[in-house]
Structure 1
Amino acid sequence: MTFFFWTCFFFLSLLAAHVLGLQCYSCDGESNCLEPQVCQEHQDRCRTTVMTTLTRSGISTYYHKDCDMSGKANNSISYLSNNQVVFLAEEHCERELCNEHAPNVLDVLLARGRPPNLLHCHSCSSADETCFNTSLAQMRCSRPGEQCVDITSFTAPEEFLQDELHIKGCGELSHCQEPLGFHNRNSFYLITCCDSSLCNKETRDYKASPLPLNGVTCYSCEGNFSQGCAPDDITQVQCQGLMNQCLEASGIDGVSGRSSIVKGCASSSWCDSPYTSIYKNLGALHTRCCTGKLCNGQIIDKTTLKPSARSQASHNPTAQPVLLSASLLLWVAFLLCSESC
């Protein structure tokens, strides 16, 4: 009888956990916090973001844990800001309460026998407005495999300080073998990586001095059908630089859980990467890129959107491929740095 009782209790617990949804540790603070939270229906991953700042007076670490969506993996970057070194690392996992542990940059910094051939990279950040200086600071990367990175992100019109982001430094960013770019009427993103010391020396202000037009025209919009991507809200945009393909993507907004759409110009490397999901915070993402004037007009109503992340289709790996890439929520990084740097 006792065995039967505990067996039933065990299976009922599993059933309750399935009904409630995935659980992840979710909190913010200066310690590796362990507070469980039930994720929303559209969230099927756990995330840990750790920001460590190194100054002459010591080392401080800030932890952010939460639920997240599929299509994202692990990434890291380090850069100089306000006379300190900022290390940002983000990890994702998909098991129950799997984000217990957090990446520890001290293990890397204090390791003995660091190889002598680590890259030196130019470094700057929006927080101290140094990225347009003709004389950029330099930093030494901390791990083999890191590249020199250059990241530009801004929205138009700019609503908040963190809407414009510039970072140069060392990092391990996925799908960064070629420059990654996307823009539409509302936003601009450009990510480049290179493998030789001090190769990230570009100081161009892409807002004041845009890339040259490439002759391609695409539809542009962001949002759902009640705001931003209704037929009357869709505009046309002339594409810049390497962004010579038209992109349209539909997914689930990570905050509201509602269907969302993005249209604009993209590089071929961006089309093959997860950065639409990263920068637009979309899960269960379906992306389509095409070549030709105004070819990104197929997603025109809600019936074309993919189902939510916990639908039957999303549990079938053949029905919805998982994007094998890394995630860096750079707007989170800048927000954290603005608050604590």
Structure 2
Amino acid sequence: MRGSLLDMRTLTLWLLLLAAAQPQVSSALRCHHCESSGNCTVETCPPGQELCRTTVFYNRWKGGEELEVVVRGCAVTGKDNSSMSYRTTQEIIMLKETVCDFDLCNHPDPRPSPTFPGSRTLECESCASSDLSCERGRILTLRCPDPTDQCLERVIQSSPEVSPSDERYVRGCGSFPDCPGPVGFHNNDTFLFLRCCNHSQCISGPMMKLSSHPLNELQCHSCEGNGTHGCSPEETTVTACRGPMNRCFEATGTHKYWGPGYTVRGCVAPTWCESPHLASTFFELAQPETFCCSGNECNAATRDATPRMGRAGPSLVLSPLLSSLPLLLLTRNLSPARGA
């Protein structure tokens, strides 16, 4: 009897060891993956991408031609639903991204996409840098396609040598997390600003620029990259903070394109400190660790570092931010040539 009991215990132990040695079934999220054309496949999301996304690009030209492109895949954890609609002198553009958090939740939807104009929606001033209508003051109006839309202005500055297709300035309609904000960030490489409001044509006047904001007496460390390229002690600068961007900020995580250990430092509006997911949304960082403080140069990587003083405005180096916003990428890569 005792021998049988020992045999059973030995067998149980071996079964437990064998089970522990078996490869574990992956619990990673699975999402539908579709490019701009072709059939969808199923992809397993990498670590840090625990959301499925559906991004819709819709374009209507002045002559009546239309284009709709839908892209599906994985998204970094922390992103939220967002949308933007705007018009230029020749076209109306709608960009919408929705996210969800369970297997294959971004399945193709047979329902038609929203069309312009909306009913009982706001009317907003609209322009874009793709045709320099914002810079030249050729402001039009746009009836928002969705009842939840607000009027918005979005600014992304990284270089004075950006090509005309880069939407440095956009006014129109949309919905973003934590808007009306202001959602502001700047360092010596990038200026990002987003503001929204809830009544028709509530945004007007000249386009927002970094120099439009007065200095606020705070100075913060500035860099974008990792510890050896972009955010090394030798490459880190100090920037003079402006306007509502009165907190020093640091976010570190795995960048969708640049890999782990990617860090962003600069000045932010308090909204960034209260909503850590903004680093995921605007910098494509998976599960970022964020830090805010209010003392001069308090976002230093090391206390003994002696950063050089940098310029207060955007530098000539193109920021990865310009390539990290899927909505912005769609306006560049999917718009057909004029006259096509």
Instruction: Identify the match of residue 43 of structure 1 among 40, 49, 54.
Output: 49
Separation in structure 2 between the aligned mates of residue 132 and residue 218 of structure 1, nearest angstrom: 30
Instruction: Identify the match of residue 52 of structure 1 among 47, 50, 58.
Output: 58
CA shift for structure 1 position 141:
1.2
Q: Judge which range, 216-225 or 156-165, deviates more.
A: 156-165
One-letter amino acid of the counterpart of residue 64, structure 2: S
Instruction: Identify the match of residue 222 of structure 2 among 220, 240, 255.
Output: 220
Q: 1:85 to 1:161 in 2, by over 3 A?
A: closer
Match status 1:147 vs 2:150: yes
Instruction: Report the equivalent of 1:335.
Output: 332
CA shift for structure 1 position 70:
0.3
Match status 1:92 vs 2:96: no
CA shift for structure 1 position 287:
1.1
Judge conservation of contact 2:224–2:230 (CA < 8 Å) in 1: yes
Judge conservation of contact 1:74–1:328 (CA < 8 Å) in 2: no
Separation in structure 2 between the aligned mates of residue 139 and residue 103 of structure 1, nearest angstrom: 27
Judge conservation of contact 2:86–2:127 (CA < 8 Å) in 1: yes
Q: Judge which range, 266-275 or 182-191, deviates more.
A: 266-275
Separation in structure 2 between the aligned mates of residue 295 and residue 244 of structure 1, nearest angstrom: 12
Separation in structure 2 between the aligned mates of residue 189 and residue 205 of structure 1, nearest angstrom: 10
2:26 alignment partner, SS class: helix
One-letter amino acid of the counterpart of residue 226, structure 1: T
Judge conservation of contact 1:75–1:328 (CA < 8 Å) in 2: no
Q: 1:225 to 1:99 in 2, by over 3 A?
A: same
Judge conservation of contact 1:250–1:259 (CA < 8 Å) in 2: yes
CA shift for structure 1 position 88:
0.8
Separation in structure 1 between the aligned mates of residue 109 and residue 25 of structure 2, nearest angstrom: 24
1:18 alignment partner, SS class: coil
TM-score by length of structure 1 reads 0.77
CA shift for structure 1 position 267:
0.4
Instruction: Identify the match of residue 18 of structure 1 among 3, 26, 50.
Output: 26
Match status 1:280 vs 2:283: yes
Aligned length: 296
CA shift for structure 1 position 293:
0.8
Separation in structure 2 between the aligned mates of residue 34 and residue 123 of structure 1, nearest angstrom: 34
Which residues in structure 2 correspond to 1:1-341 (within 5 Å)? Answer: 18=26, 21-30=28-37, 33-55=39-61, 56-102=63-109, 106-109=112-115, 115-116=119-120, 118-156=121-159, 158=161, 165-204=168-207, 206=209, 209-273=211-275, 274-297=277-300, 329-336=326-333, 338=335
Q: 1:267 to 1:142 in 2, by over 3 A?
A: same
Q: Deviations over 1:12-39 (max 9, x none)?
A: xxx77517x43222232257x4222232
Q: Judge which range, 181-190 or 192-201, deviates more.
A: 192-201
One-letter amino acid of the counterpart of residue 331, structure 1: L
Tell me how large the CA RMSD over aligned residues is: 2.9
Judge conservation of contact 2:122–2:151 (CA < 8 Å) in 1: yes
Q: Deviations over 1:98-146 (max 9, x none)?
A: 2113596x454389xx654x21101111211111233411111122221
Separation in structure 2 between the aligned mates of residue 261 and residue 49 of structure 1, nearest angstrom: 26
Q: Deviations over 1:140-162 (max 9, x none)?
A: 11222211000000214756666
Separation in structure 2 between the aligned mates of residue 223 and residue 92 of structure 1, nearest angstrom: 27
Separation in structure 2 between the aligned mates of residue 299 and residue 96 of structure 1, nearest angstrom: 41
Q: Deviations over 1:5-63 (max 9, x none)?
A: xxxxxxxxxx77517x43222232257x4222232233222221110112343432112
Tell me which of the two structures has the higher relative contact order, counting C-alpha pairs closer than 8 angstroms and 6 or more residues apart. Answer: 1
Judge conservation of contact 2:151–2:199 (CA < 8 Å) in 1: yes
Contiguous gaps of at least 5 residues in structure 2: 1-22, 304-323
Contiguous gaps of at least 5 residues in structure 1: 1-14, 301-326
Separation in structure 1 between the aligned mates of residue 113 and residue 221 of structure 2, nearest angstrom: 47
Separation in structure 2 between the aligned mates of residue 339 and residue 299 of structure 1, nearest angstrom: 48
Q: 1:120 to 1:228 in 2, by over 3 A?
A: same
